[in-house]
């Protein structure tokens, strides 16, 4: 489900901003969830990925860096 939302957010800057806030809310105070989200974002930019999501992955990583997870 998260990847589906990330795919839509890749095409819409405003939605990407909301997605970033959602990631922050989900990961807040939960390092394990932050690691899972970071892994998902890393998978979205894997060289073998047929439909990479570099913009969405970048906002996820940026938000998790702010959260410290």
DSSP 8-state secondary structure symbol assigned to residue 65: H
Domain ranges of the chain: 1-67
Cβ atoms of 56 and 10 closer than 8 Å: yes
pLDDT tens-place values along the chain, 69 residues long = 999 999 999 999 999 999 999 999 999 999 999 999 999 999 999 999 999 999 999 999 999 999 888
In angstroms, the CA 41 to CA 58 distance is 8
Q: Taken in order 4, 57, 8, 32, is the CA torsion positive or negative?
A: positive
In angstroms, the CA 55 to CA 41 distance is 10
Length of the chain: 69
């Amino acid at each position: 489900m998260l990847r589906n939302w990330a795919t839509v957010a890749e095409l819409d800057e405003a939605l990407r901003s909301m997605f970033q806030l959602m990631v922050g809310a989900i990961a807040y105070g939960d390092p394990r969830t932050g690691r899972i989200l970071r892994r998902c974002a890393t998978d979205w930019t894997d060289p073998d990925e047929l439909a990479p999501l570099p913009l969405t992955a970048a906002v996820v990583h940026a938000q998790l860096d702010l959260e410290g997870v």
